[in-house]
A and B are shown apart, each in its own frame.
Chain A
Amino acid sequence: MGNQKLYKGSLQTIILKLLETNDKMYGYEITQKVKELTKGELKITEGALYPALHKLEADGLLDVEIAKVGNRLRKYYKLTESGSKETANKLEEMQEFLKTMQHLVNPKLSLE
């Protein structure tokens, strides 16, 4: 399971990155995709996922689309233009963060 707290601050970046790769996704799909990509290491709870999605939507970074799927309605999220720009910024920040952590935690393995 790892330490879920370490991932908590990165939830928005994870969501944005997934939507950048997958065009449009719905809530349940995001939780399953993260579980699959991290081999079960990271499990996003509904209680954390939806407030994060709604905040991104309120900030204008995500757009929503509602479609009928089978016998129910489904809400899809996709990146807006400013969402795409923000994804690039967040990923850059994340790379910097990882590099810094690498320097701190394991200086011998750092490339620079």
Chain B
Amino acid sequence: MELTNEQVQQVENYLDNKSFDFIDLKLEILDHLISDIESFIDKGFSFDNAFKATVLKWDKHFKDSSSFYFGLLYSESKIVVKKAVKIFKPFYFLYLTAYFLPLIILKKFSFTFSINTIDYFDTLLNTLSVIFLIYLIYIIVKVFKSKVKTTYSFILRTQYLGVVFLIIPLLSGKHFNDKGEMNPIFTGFLLAGFAVTYICFYFYKKHKDAIKKYKISYS
């Protein structure tokens, strides 16, 4: 038996009370909850009892949860964190590779550059860092100001500390030591910073796409 509009609203209120307002997830979770309730009603339950039984089954999915991938400070409903982890995992490894690979290579092998090359690279890397930093800050501000939440905006909110990776080498201004060798730590920081910028660019695009897709559906 199909629920009435008032009953559907009651189910939606339950999600709102759980602060479950992720636009990319709400639609299908609401549909699943309603389908569960309808199935209980078909078995002879009253709406109130069917609703209670469904809530009992679903409550655990809305409990606050966090993940090692984002840091324990960032928590959200378990169902949101699970989706975020599944999507973010490959990017987390990109992040680690961007930091540790140059670090290991430059510690093992030393590459010496001439003064002219050093000047050229210092200017190039500093310019790129400034451009990426501005773009990263722009995304962070946009996401923090946005009233619409998606799983992607949750991921983006956990990435803002990544600006540190760009700021530290930028403050030093030099990516080479006195012998003309690349600084392994700063290079690792810089590439991790570039990786964070790419990750933020990717998820910000996903966030905007999700808003477009689901806002049209809701309207």
Contact = CB atoms under 8 A, between A and B. Distances in A.
Interface residues of A, number: 20
A36 to B, nearest CB: 13
Contact of A71 (B5, B58, B78, B87): B5
A9 interface: no
B79 A26 contact: no
A55 B86 contact: yes
Interface stretch (B29-37, B112-120, B187-195): B29-37
A108 interface: no
Interface of A: 26-28, 46-47, 50-52, 54-55, 58, 64, 66, 69-75
15 contacts: A27-B28, A27-B32, A28-B31, A46-B32, A46-B79, A47-B60, A47-B78, A50-B25, A55-B87, A58-B87, A71-B8, A72-B34, A73-B27, A75-B27, A75-B28
B218 to A, nearest CB: 7
B218 A71 contact: no
Contacts of B25: 50
Contacts, number: 65
A51 B61 contact: no
B217 interface: yes
Interface string B6-28: 00100000000000000001011
Contacts of B86: 51-52, 54-55, 58
Contact of B217 (A26, A27, A54, A73): A73
B31 A66 contact: no
A71 B2 contact: yes
Q: Nearest 7 A-B pairs (CB), nearest first?
A: A28-B35, A75-B28, A55-B86, A66-B217, A51-B82, A51-B86, A54-B83
